[in-house]
Amino acid sequence: MWADLSRVGRIWRRTKRRLIPAIAFSAMLATRNADARVKLITLPVRERVEIQLDNPNATLVEEERVVPLVKGENQVDFSWANTQIDPDTIVFRVIGSAEEKKSEINVVAVSYPPNEASLAWTIGASDACSARVRISYLLGNLTKSFAYRAVASRDEKHLTLSQYMRVDNLANEEFSQSDVYAGFGPTFQKPIGLNETKEILVDKFEGVPVEKIYSCNPQESDYLDRAQNKLRVPMHYVLTNDAAHKLGNAALPYGKVRMFIEGAAGSAQAGTAFLGEDWGKFTPKDGEMRLYLGVTQDVVVKRTIEKSEFKRVTGNLFNHDIVVKYEIENFKKEPVTLNVAENLTYLRNEIHGNTSREVDYELHNDTTFEGGPDPEHSRADQLEFHAKLPAADGEGKAEKIVHRLHLTLKNEW
């Protein structure tokens, strides 16, 4: 009887028009004086589908169907040819009877036909009924990514941040009305068609305070003009992912950010203008996301090594006394604050080569940056300072601000 049943099942599978995950049900009706008769039942439609995209390496699909069962044993066949289902993750659960009539329903056994992308469950029912079953599995080629659209206010003090989730379905399966969960926020009810890419607006944050920063770091940004010792000065928008900055509901996933700025109201530039795009890093709650805007030509920084002296400590060990001079001009019409970062390993290597030693240093009091190193953004081998720069005058002339960093690198050779 079981051999006949397997042969019938294989013939039926070969006649299916589409090779997508399917469930067929064969009811084995026992009689007193004859062998059981096999009956194929039409595939029930999905009653519910949930697609969970919270794990970056695997997509969990859970689907529920209401299936008719006869009294006795029922065979449920599940096949997934040409679909990226991981067979080791398939789980079948009977949630309960879909009718008022109570019936005891149990999964008796599971079998795997050889060399086929399918399996069969044997389900026992104490009475004929319709049962609600849930099948879950991990599905490949159904993936998500994130993207953002940031529109800054004209004064660049606030922005509107729209967060989108992009779902790419190359799993060779379609889902009509599905509950899609990104791993945070609400669940979205969306149909996802075969080989379809769908973009979903996850959240929109209005009036997010943003800081526009100007910075220079010769290790990271290099020189704009090495012959004149002029540093490159990148600009960034900085978003803080916390409630005080109207964010902080959840971590901000990695994704491309397209940035725009509002035009002046009532002018020919009304609307938005494209500023650029950058990849926003994964930003946990209370973390910062920096978005690169380009290099400014209005803030000029000339960096020179004003002093470099070695003083013997003992043997071949020396203390290296260094003064770095920064001449800074701001040609913008408004005052700005420049973040000046100096990587001490880079500074040491720049002057006398790489010694492969960790930097041990002493910062001297005649360093001129007001407030000293920023404790939040400095680290063991890098110092960051802030230089406040006045606006250029009415004729566009900038005041030259001079700062010095004085430190000693200890026990060098």
* pLDDT at 295 (0 to 100): 97
- What is the spatial distance between Cα 304 and Cα 286, in angstroms, rounded to a whole number? 37
Residue 85 DSSP label: B
* pLDDT at 263 (0 to 100): 85
Q: How many CB atoms lie within 10 A of CB 354?
A: 10
| Residue 346 backbone class (left: φ over 0; alpha: ψ -120 to 50; beta: rest) | alpha
Higher-pLDDT residue of 5 and 53 is 53
- Dig out the tokens for 273 from the structure: 């203008």
pTM value is 0.80
Higher-pLDDT residue of 221 and 269 is 221
Percent of the chain predicted with pLDDT > 70: 87
- What is the spatial distance between Cα 13 and Cα 15, in angstroms, rounded to a whole number? 5
Of the given ranges (170-174, 291-295, 333-337), which has the lowest mean pLDDT?
A: 170-174
Of the given ranges (77-91, 138-152, 222-236), which has the lowest mean pLDDT?
A: 77-91
- What is the spatial distance between Cα 381 and Cα 279, in angstroms, rounded to a whole number? 26
Gyration radius (Cα) of the chain, Å: 33
Residue 349 DSSP label: H
Kindly give the pairing relationship between strand 118-125 and strand 211-216.
Answer: unpaired
Task: Work out the average pLDDT over 175-179.
Answer: 90
- What is the spatial distance between Cα 83 and Cα 63, in angstroms, rounded to a whole number? 15
- Dig out the tokens for 71 from the structure: 């009294």
Please name the residue that has the structure tokens 């006394």: 321
Higher-pLDDT residue of 5 and 316 is 316
Of the given ranges (94-98, 137-141, 174-178, 264-268), which has the lowest mean pLDDT?
A: 264-268
Task: Assess contact for 117 and 87: CB atoms under 8 A.
Answer: yes
Q: Which residues pair with 178 in a beta bridge?
A: 190
Chain-centroid distance of CA 388 in Å reads 35
Task: Assess contact for 325 and 402: CB atoms under 8 A.
Answer: yes
Q: Which of 413, 411, 409 is nearest to 348 (CA)?
A: 409
pLDDT at 18 over 90: no
Of the given ranges (56-60, 226-230, 285-289), which has the lowest mean pLDDT?
A: 56-60
* pLDDT at 2 (0 to 100): 36
* pLDDT at 201 (0 to 100): 95
* pLDDT at 9 (0 to 100): 41
State in Å, rounded, how far the first CA of the chain is from the last one: 87
67-78, pLDDT tens digit by residue?
998 888 888 888
Task: Work out the average pLDDT over 27-44.
Answer: 40
User: Is the Cα dihedral 40, 41, 42, 46 positive or negative?
Assistant: negative
Model confidence band, residue 43 (pLDDT cutoffs 50, 70, 90): low
- What is the spatial distance between Cα 255 and Cα 226, in angstroms, rounded to a whole number? 34
- What is the spatial distance between Cα 99 and Cα 7, in angstroms, rounded to a whole number? 33
Tell me what percent of the chain is helix, strand and coil, each rounded to the nearest 5. 10, 55, 35
pLDDT at 12 over 50: no
Residue 6 DSSP label: H
Percent of the chain predicted with pLDDT > 90: 67
Task: Assess contact for 364 and 383: CB atoms under 8 A.
Answer: no
Task: Assess contact for 44 and 66: CB atoms under 8 A.
Answer: yes
- What is the spatial distance between Cα 413 and Cα 360, in angstroms, rounded to a whole number? 12
pLDDT at 114 over 50: yes
Read off φ and ψ for residue 331, nearest 5 degrees: -95, 5
pLDDT at 102 over 80: no
Model confidence band, residue 31 (pLDDT cutoffs 50, 70, 90): very low
* pLDDT at 20 (0 to 100): 39
125-159, pLDDT tens digit by residue?
898 888 999 999 999 999 999 999 999 999 999 99
